[in-house]
Structure 1
Amino acid sequence: MENKIRVIMADDHACVRDGIRFLLNQITHVSIVGEASDTQGLADLLDSCACDVVVSDIGMPGIDGESNAIQFLRRLLYHAPQLPIVVLTMIHQASILVGLLQHGVAAVVDKRDITSSLVHAIDAALTGQGYLSDHARTAIAQAGAPQPRVGVISAGEWKVFTMYVSGMTIGQIAVRLNRSAKTISTQKRNAMRKLGLETEADVIDYACQIGLT
């Protein structure tokens, strides 16, 4: 079939990649054009291989010592906003799922829903529609979480947020970034709001689930 959807997939678990490959190889309008087991491999593929959609885990090793793929995907979304990203995850906390969408990803698929939802997510992402798999949608609905895309977290807000969850105080971050404590505090609050996090416990949970701590 001509004009197949070219997919690059990335996951650090071989069994997950095997399952995705088996599933997508049965779909006539989809073609896997590259596979990666970490963020560096994904970056290399994107430099050398044209694709229409990226399907990626977020809990795999990042570049430059990062503990997850979030920062890389954020940079990718900034530099290539036209490239849809479908995130695969086992995360089930509503605020975190909303935060992923606010990062700009096109779709979130709970790994428990891969068989029934991944192809739908790829198709929806390619046409510019947002998509949540059943488990992800249910988690958000049950929690009454705010609707996605109320605001996209900025690079500065994300930097402050990651420094904060690493254990630095507002005052220490202010000194490090040569900003006022008031500015840093505002950026931290904005990051929490955009990620759908309401309490310090939510911040800790989010940071743990995506590998920031």
Structure 2
Amino acid sequence: MIRVLVVDDEALVRSGLRLILEAAGDIVVVGEARDGAEAVAAVERLRADVVLMDVRMPGMDGLTAAERIIRRDDPPKVIMLTTFDLDEHVHRALRAGAVGFLLKDTPPRDLASAVRTVAAGNAMLAPTVTRRLIGSFVERGPSHAEAAHERFAVLTTRERQVVRAVARGLSNAEIGRELTMREATVKTHVSRALAKLGLTNRVQAAILVYEAGLL
């Protein structure tokens, strides 16, 4: 079972998310929190695999809470959930290490699928969010792209191939089939590449690939 912590300042929203997720059969909501501070405290107590976090909440907002949670040793995966796909929210959340960003109009089936995806170690972004991210990177100009491209010099050829595949949204198993590698070997390459690049997860690696113009 995938253990989820639901964080939203509205009780009705929390109840609805619980119903949707637990109806999936392989997901259990192990706790709820009303704001970012409660979420940070709950992570201390609960062994959640995934935190589903609203962006806008009174007191400590979801972005601040996500940043604090992700800095922990062996943190849960964090999915940001919001009504607005504002660029500053997306960038800050993903830079902090969130592995998912979904809009609140996401269909129930897709919400459960997103939780499964991030629990398995992959990223999940709403399609509109992905399009806006790519567009913003294209607009940053050649000097920014060149600086991002230079960061990949520390990687081996194989590591660069793997990271580019990660940016295309492929899972470890899919990368292994495409590059004729064992899944465990792919996982090793991903871990080493992230460490060399100073990144914490696959989403940040994908962002850097887009910034460098490698896709």
The two structures have a TM-score, normalised by structure 1, of 0.58
Distance (Å, rounded) in 1 between the aligned partners of 2:12 and 2:99: 24
SS at match of 1:145: helix
| Pair 93,117 (structure 1): closer, same or farther in 2 beyond 3 Å | same
Segments of structure 1 that go 5 or more residues without pairing to the other structure are: 151-195, 197-213
Residue 184 (structure 2) aligns with: none
SS at match of 1:91: coil
| Pair 53,72 (structure 1): closer, same or farther in 2 beyond 3 Å | same
Distance (Å, rounded) in 1 between the aligned partners of 2:115 and 2:26: 11
Q: Which has the higher helix share?
A: 2
8 Å Cα contact 2:81-2:103 kept in structure 1: yes
The answer as to 2:109 corresponding to 1:112 is no
Distance (Å, rounded) in 2 between the aligned partners of 1:40 and 1:95: 21
Distance (Å, rounded) in 1 between the aligned partners of 2:107 and 2:81: 8
Distance (Å, rounded) in 1 between the aligned partners of 2:74 and 2:105: 27
Residue 174 (structure 2) aligns with: none
Distance (Å, rounded) in 1 between the aligned partners of 2:128 and 2:108: 12
| Pair 96,49 (structure 1): closer, same or farther in 2 beyond 3 Å | closer
Distance (Å, rounded) in 2 between the aligned partners of 1:129 and 1:139: 20
Residue 56 (structure 1) aligns with: 53
Residue 124 (structure 1) aligns with: 117
Residue 146 (structure 1) aligns with: 137
8 Å Cα contact 1:117-1:133 kept in structure 2: no
Q: 1:96 aligns with which of 65, 89, 94?
A: 89
Q: 2:32 aligns with which of 31, 35, 42?
A: 35
Residue 76 (structure 2) aligns with: 83
The answer as to 2:130 corresponding to 1:137 is yes
Given residue 137 of structure 2, which amino acid in structure 1 is its aligned partner? Answer: P
Could you say what the CA RMSD is over the residues aligned between the two structures, in angstroms? Answer: 2.3
Q: 1:25 aligns with which of 22, 36, 49?
A: 22
Residue 12 (structure 1) aligns with: 9
Distance (Å, rounded) in 2 between the aligned partners of 1:133 and 1:49: 27
Distance (Å, rounded) in 2 between the aligned partners of 1:90 and 1:48: 28
8 Å Cα contact 1:109-1:117 kept in structure 2: no
8 Å Cα contact 2:8-2:34 kept in structure 1: yes
| Pair 59,81 (structure 1): closer, same or farther in 2 beyond 3 Å | farther
Shift in Å, 1:81: 4.9
Shift in Å, 1:111: 0.7
Distance (Å, rounded) in 1 between the aligned partners of 2:41 and 2:89: 28
Distance (Å, rounded) in 2 between the aligned partners of 1:136 and 1:53: 20
Distance (Å, rounded) in 1 between the aligned partners of 2:49 and 2:13: 21
| Pair 80,88 (structure 1): closer, same or farther in 2 beyond 3 Å | farther
SS at match of 1:61: coil
Segments of structure 2 that go 5 or more residues without pairing to the other structure are: 139-147, 149-206, 208-215
User: Could you tell me the percent identity over the aligned residues?
Assistant: 24
Matched length: 140
Shift in Å, 1:138: 4.2
